[in-house]
């Protein structure tokens, strides 16, 4: 959709938000179709499974929103002005920037991806386990930094 000066920025932003929600619902449907054959595995989901998927989701959210290794993806959606990166004022790229910086939004996408991979098969579960182990490492790092800060005071 192109920007039209007659259409207010708020209305255009709402349209792009609706597009993003529609895309999420389509992705949700695709993921549901992918794991449809493995639905019995979801019915027997244990606390261990939930913990593994949760830790993997945590790590994936951190990867997408904070980690330097993913800077190139975040920068692809941003405008460069005066040597600095800024969020675009409107359009699909602005919505993408907002999704990538919003922990709740990124969490929804990451949770969908992690759960789908986990239920899809052994290789998907392996990938989720790797992210879960990395998630535990990230949590330990956050805890150790918090303890170090509290000891400095």
Residue 3 has pLDDT above 70, yes or no: no
In this prediction, residue 1 carries a pLDDT of 43
Measure CA 21 to chain center.
Answer: 14
Domain edges within the chain: 9-152
pTM equals 0.76
* Per-residue pLDDT tens over the stretch 86-107: 777 777 788 888 888 888 888 9
Alpha-carbon separation of residue 119 from 17, 31, 33, 122, 133 (angstroms):
29, 10, 12, 8, 18
Whether the predicted pLDDT of 110 surpasses 70? yes
Task: State the pLDDT at residue 130.
Answer: 97
pLDDT of 9: 59
H or E, element range at 20? helix 9-35
Closest to 58 measured CA to CA, from 70, 66, 47: 66
Dump pLDDT digits (tens) for 13-70. Answer: 778 788 888 888 998 888 888 887 777 777 788 999 999 999 999 999 999 888 889 8
Q: At what angle do helices 92-101 and 9-35 cross, to 10 degrees?
A: 60
Angle at Cα 52 formed by Cα 145 and Cα 64, nearest 5°? 60
Task: Please determine, for residue 84, whether its predicted confidence score (pLDDT) is greater than 90.
Answer: no
At 89, is the secondary structure helix, strand, or coil? coil
Q: Which pLDDT value is given to residue 83?
A: 72
Top pLDDT among 4 and 90 is at: 90
How much is the pLDDT for 93? 81
pLDDT grade, residue 2 (50/70/90)?
Answer: very low
């Amino acid at each position: 959709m192109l920007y039209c000066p007659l259409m207010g920025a708020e209305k255009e932003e709402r349209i792009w938000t609706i597009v993003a929600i529609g895309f999420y619902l389509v992705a949700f449907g695709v993921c549901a179709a992918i794991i449809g054959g493995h639905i019995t595995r979801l019915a027997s989901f244990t606390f261990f499974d939930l913990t593994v998927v949760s830790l993997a989701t945590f790590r994936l959210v951190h990867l997408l929103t904070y980690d330097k290794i993913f800077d190139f993806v975040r920068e692809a959606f941003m405008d460069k002005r005066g040597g600095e990166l800024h969020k675009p004022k409107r359009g699909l790229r602005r919505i993408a920037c907002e999704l990538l910086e919003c922990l709740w939004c990124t969490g929804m996408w990451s949770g969908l991806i992690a759960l789908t991979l986990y239920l899809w098969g052994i290789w998907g579960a392996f990938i989720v386990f790797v992210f879960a182990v990395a998630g535990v490492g990230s949590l330990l790092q956050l805890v150790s930094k918090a303890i170090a800060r509290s000891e400095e005071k």
